[in-house]
Chain A
Amino acid sequence: MATRTPGGLSTATRPVVTAHGVRRAFGETVVLDGVDLAIAPGEVVALLGGSGSGKSTLLRILAGLDPEATGEITRTGSQAVVFQEHRLLPWKRVADNVSLGVPGAGVRQRVAAALAEVGLAERGRAWPAELSGGQAQRVAFARALVREPALMLLDEPFGALDALTRLKMQTLFGRLHAEHGFAALLVTHDVDEALLLADRTLVLDDGRIVEDAPVPLSRPRAPDHPGFGPLRRHLLDRLGVRPDQDGDAGT
């Protein structure tokens, strides 16, 4: 067992999720080779990596969607997942999608509140097919939000959106996070997005986390923030992207 951080830490500072020695292989190919990870309450952690680096695999393991993985995962508090595609059930109206699996009384009010927070208060009766891509993704956020998760697992949630919608959604995410204070693991391949939203960035390479660095920028952030450029360059470098090289970057 890796992580119960030693000594009398209160629940307020206990990580919402810890992973220790997570391994996952698909046949011969080892995708994750001993990943350790802890996310503190309210912390936004961006998980970067090239395509095929196992980012999404790690997120799925943390979400409990991968029974084949080995390693220790400890979760405290509830989780919700937002995927790259909205994954709304096409045969349920927006409000019923949001309330899916939510127990307890007052669900309708909570659903209405969550939809209002993502700016879709009027669309509860709509079918998912009637929504634009950005709206559908907002509903997916409302569906996560209504569960009041301690940890949101976000698998490239803005990846399928057009550039303008993506910027709006990033702003929305920042606002929701400020209001609700959930912790989040944001899987992304977009360095700018990571630097805009995250408190800490992880870089996954060759099945291991090769970099774990805080983002020392004050909020609100913007790409023209003075400290942004060097951080961006550094992260891109870690991801194997160098301005003077094209094609396959060196090791």
Chain B
Amino acid sequence: MTETLVEKPTRPPAAPAATRRSGHTPRRPVRRWRRAVTPVALLLLWQAASQTGLLPPEKLSAPSAVAQTGWRLARDGTLGVHLLDSLTRAGIGLAIGGTLALVLGAIAGLLRLGDDLVDPPVQMARMLPHLGLVPLLIIWVGIGESLKITLVALGAFFPIYFNTYAGIRDIDERLVEAARTCGLGQLARIRHVVLPGALPSLFLGLRLALGAAWLSLVVGEQVNAQTGIGFLMMEAREFSQTDVVLLGLLVYALLGLLSDLALRMAERRTLTWRRGLQAV
């Protein structure tokens, strides 16, 4: 009655589940400091080169100038407004693409029929570079908000789909069987075995999806945006405000970094069981 749950994977998973033992051997402080030397030196060099006029400000503004611009735009609220717009786009896109990927990935992973019907077209669509779809998407949905959201959703869809699928397929068949001998019905097996078993893989998919989402957002916001970090950058380019362009880049980088960090924290908290002996 439930052979759909225990089918062997028919092909290798899209991405191997991350088996990280997050750095629990504390790096000696000396080494830690040493690793900061080059970045700091480069930053100082950059600053010095700007101040001596070696680097023309219209090509590359000084780090201090970028920081000042950031402070100014943050204070007058400009940065906040655009950041919020960018975040909203990313959030909606992720929610749409992620939900769709989760549902379709679960259908393909759990049901043989679903696998046969859903997986082939997804595999084919995966071959299309989704950022290359921009011209077609402009024809379909125009150049407004829907374009940005569609791009983000498309970017987030594939990593989540493949990792959901692989996560479900990689579940140890013997555990499903053991749950069955414990009297668990199909729904209970999904809840107690399949879902938690696929969770590490889901987290991996989500992290990859976040990366893809930011990338899609960067591209999407350069097409006729009226708001958002991308718009800020495009507008600044027209007025040769290199400092604002650099600031936009910095914000994008920080968004990627912070979202990844947050997700890793959530992952560590949810997946305590994976840390085994360290969890006590």
Point out residues on A near B: beta carbons under 8 Å: 63, 65, 67, 79-81, 83, 85, 87-93, 100-102, 126-130, 143, 147
Contact mask for chain B residues 170-194; partner A; CB cutoff 8 A; 1 contact, 0 none: 0000110111111110001000110
A101 nearest CB across to chain B (Å): 4
B185: nearest residue on chain A (CB-CB)?
A: A101
A129 and B276 contact, CB distance less than 8 A: yes
Of the residues A85, A101, A127, contact of B188 by C-beta under 8 Å:
A101
B272: nearest residue on chain A (CB-CB)?
A: A127
List B contacts of A127 (CB < 8 A): 272-273, 276, 279
A91-B196, A100-B192 are contacts. A80–B181 as well, Cβ < 8 Å?
yes
Contact mask for chain B residues 267-280; partner A; CB cutoff 8 A; 1 contact, 0 none: 00001111011011
List A contacts of B3 (CB < 8 A): 67
List A contacts of B188 (CB < 8 A): 101
B182 and A100 contact, CB distance less than 8 A: yes
9 contacts between A and B (CB under 8 A): A80-B181, A88-B178, A89-B197, A91-B196, A91-B273, A92-B192, A126-B280, A129-B274, A130-B276
Interface of B is mostly: helix
B188: nearest residue on chain A (CB-CB)?
A: A101
Interface members, chain B 139-188 (any A CB < 8 Å): 174-175, 177-184, 188
Of the residues A63, A91, A93, contact of B181 by C-beta under 8 Å:
A63
Most buried by B among A91, A101, A126: A91
Most buried by B among A65, A83, A89, A92: A89
A83 and B273 contact, CB distance less than 8 A: no
Apart from A101-B179, A102-B183, what 5 extra A-B contacts exist at CB < 8 Å? A80-B181, A87-B177, A91-B197, A91-B199, A127-B273
User: What is the count of residue pairs linking A and B with beta-carbon distances less than 8 angstroms?
Assistant: 64
Point out residues on B near A: beta carbons under 8 Å: 1, 3, 174-175, 177-184, 188, 192-193, 196-197, 199, 271-274, 276-277, 279-280
CA distance A128 to B175 in the complex (A): 13
List A contacts of B280 (CB < 8 A): 126, 130
B174 and A85 contact, CB distance less than 8 A: yes
CA distance A101 to B180 in the complex (A): 9
A87-B175, A91-B273 are contacts. A65–B181 as well, Cβ < 8 Å?
yes
A129 and B181 contact, CB distance less than 8 A: no
B180 and A65 contact, CB distance less than 8 A: yes
List A contacts of B279 (CB < 8 A): 127, 130
List A contacts of B276 (CB < 8 A): 127, 129-130
A89 and B193 contact, CB distance less than 8 A: yes
CA distance A65 to B177 in the complex (A): 7
List B contacts of A93 (CB < 8 A): 273
Give the 7 A-B CB pairs with smallest separation, nearest first: A129-B276, A87-B178, A101-B182, A81-B181, A91-B196, A101-B183, A91-B273
Of the residues B184, B271, B277, contact of A101 by C-beta under 8 Å:
B184
A85: nearest residue on chain B (CB-CB)?
A: B174
A78: nearest residue on chain B (CB-CB)?
A: B183
A96 nearest CB across to chain B (Å): 9
A171 nearest CB across to chain B (Å): 25
List A contacts of B183 (CB < 8 A): 101-102, 147
CA distance A65 to B182 in the complex (A): 12
A98: nearest residue on chain B (CB-CB)?
A: B182
B181 and A89 contact, CB distance less than 8 A: no
B181 and A100 contact, CB distance less than 8 A: no
A170 nearest CB across to chain B (Å): 22
Of the residues B174, B197, B271, contact of A83 by C-beta under 8 Å:
B174
B181 nearest CB across to chain A (Å): 4
CA distance A88 to B182 in the complex (A): 11
List A contacts of B174 (CB < 8 A): 83, 85, 87
List B contacts of A128 (CB < 8 A): 273
Of the residues A67, A85, A89, A129, contact of B277 by C-beta under 8 Å:
A129
CA distance A129 to B271 in the complex (A): 12
CA distance A198 to B181 in the complex (A): 23
A29 nearest CB across to chain B (Å): 19
A111 nearest CB across to chain B (Å): 13
A65-B177, A127-B276 are contacts. A89–B184 as well, Cβ < 8 Å?
no
